[in-house]
Amino acid sequence: MINYKEKLGPIKAFVFDFDGVMTDGSVLTYADGETVRAGNIKDGFAVQYAVKKGYVVAVISGATSASIDNRMHALGVEQCYTGCGDKIKTYDKFLQLNNLRDEEVLCMGDDLPDYPLLQRAGVSACPADAAVEIRDMADYVSHCNGGHGAVRDVIEQVMRLHGKWFHPDAVVW
């Protein structure tokens, strides 16, 4: 069996679920029906840094909310697919659009709707608090919970391996 770190070498893209991965899964609903989610600023930094360093980053989520699109666009993520009933169909379009193969994608999900994506991706990852079925099949289970650094954890590992993570002698923002 291949160690998951050996599988990180070809990674060119990250695909994340939103709720439970970019957030802790909490959704506040106001009386007018608007929903609010809280994300982690360090996860956000890692996402925008990965984009700046040339990685393709996408969100494929079953949830629909302008706040998800707004947050991802603010981080430089242009491929934000929300309201996805069939995540595999969206994933296939994502691969085609970006000329990617499964083995070049790290996918992080937290619950059963993410299972098919995780099966296909070159590296499957999940937060520490993911559903047991997801933890059991993932190549990597982060030490961080969703919305609390799990996204940064996987991005940083890939970028360090590729020599693209922060280095104090080469700081260029």
Structure tokens at 17: 């679920």
CA dist., res. 5 & res. 117, Å (int): 19
Tens place of pLDDT per residue across the chain (173 aa): 578 899 999 999 999 999 999 999 998 888 988 888 999 999 999 999 999 999 999 999 999 888 899 999 999 999 999 999 999 999 999 999 999 999 999 999 999 999 999 999 999 999 999 999 999 999 999 999 999 999 999 999 999 999 999 877 765 55
The one-letter amino acid at 98: N
- Which pLDDT score, from 0 to 100, does residue 64 have? 87
Domains in the chain with CATH codes = 8-164 (3.40.50.1000)
Burial readout 113-137 (b: 16 or more C-beta within 10 A, e: otherwise): bbbebbebbbbbbbbbbbbeebeee
Structure tokens at 12: 């060119």
Structure tokens at 44: 């956000």
The H or E element containing residue 126 is strand 123-126
